[in-house]
Structure formats: C-alpha cells, structure tokens
Amino acid sequence: MSHVLDCARAPQRFPFLPLLIVFLSVFLFSNGSWPAQSPTLGRAMKAQDAEAGTLLVRTSDHGQLRPMPTLATDVNINVTGMIARSTVTQHFGNPTDQWLEGIYVFPLSESAA
C-alpha cells in the first residue's frame, strides 16, 4: 500500500495567513508611500480623525494639529511558520523653516491585541 500526500487536497493549517499578509501590505503601502512633489502641511484635524501612520504637528495658528507630509514608507515582513514580524519605517518631511514637535498617530481598533 502506497501513501502519497496530495498537496492540492491537503488541508492548510492557516489558510488565512497569505491573505492577511497581502491585506497588511496593501494597507501599509496605501498610506502615501510615494514622494510628494511639493510637501506642505495638511489641513487642520483632530488627533482622533487621523489615519494610521500619521505624524501631526501643533501649529502656531490656534494650536491646531496638522499632518506632516509622508515622504516614504518602507515595510519589511518576515514570515516564519505562523509568526509574521513586520517592521515599518516612515520618513516625514518638514516643509517649514521651524523646529516642530510631532505626535505620531497609529490608532488601533478596540479589538486589537
């Protein structure tokens, strides 16, 4: 009796993992990873309205928060078995001639671990 493993029919232990990696990659790359032509500060906003991976600065006009322009986003994902380690490096530009203090915003859902 011969035992042959049919990989096409073998159940996968984590069928969602490749889909999760693709989704995370698309999500992280969609946050303005291309260099800006002429970077300027964005429109005033509240911290809770900012998208993930935003650097906000407090301006001199009534202390409003404005997003800094994202110049580049680099993502490195290493998958070993069922563990994925991700490193995200973001570069922001300061279009002003002043020193600015930034607040990095990365909101998570309430069910995030």
| Domain map (residue ranges) of the chain | 35-105
Distance CA 37, CA 17 (A): 36
Highest mean pLDDT among 5-9, 96-100, 108-112: 96-100
B/e letters for 48-58, b = 16+ CB within 10 Å, e = fewer, are eebeebbbbbe
Predicted pLDDT at 39: 55
Cα dist from 96 to 31, 38, 65, 93, whole Å: 22, 12, 15, 9
Residue 67, judged by CB atoms within 10 A of its CB (0-12, 13-18, 19+), counts as buried
| Residue 109 predicted with pLDDT over 90 | no
For range 94-107, the mean pLDDT: 84
Q: Does pLDDT of 30 surpass 70?
A: no
- Short-list 109, 100, 112, CA closest to 55: 100
Mean pLDDT score, 84-107: 87
Average pLDDT over residues 50-70: 81
Give the pLDDT confidence score for residue 28 in this predicted structure: 62
Mean pLDDT within 101-105: 86
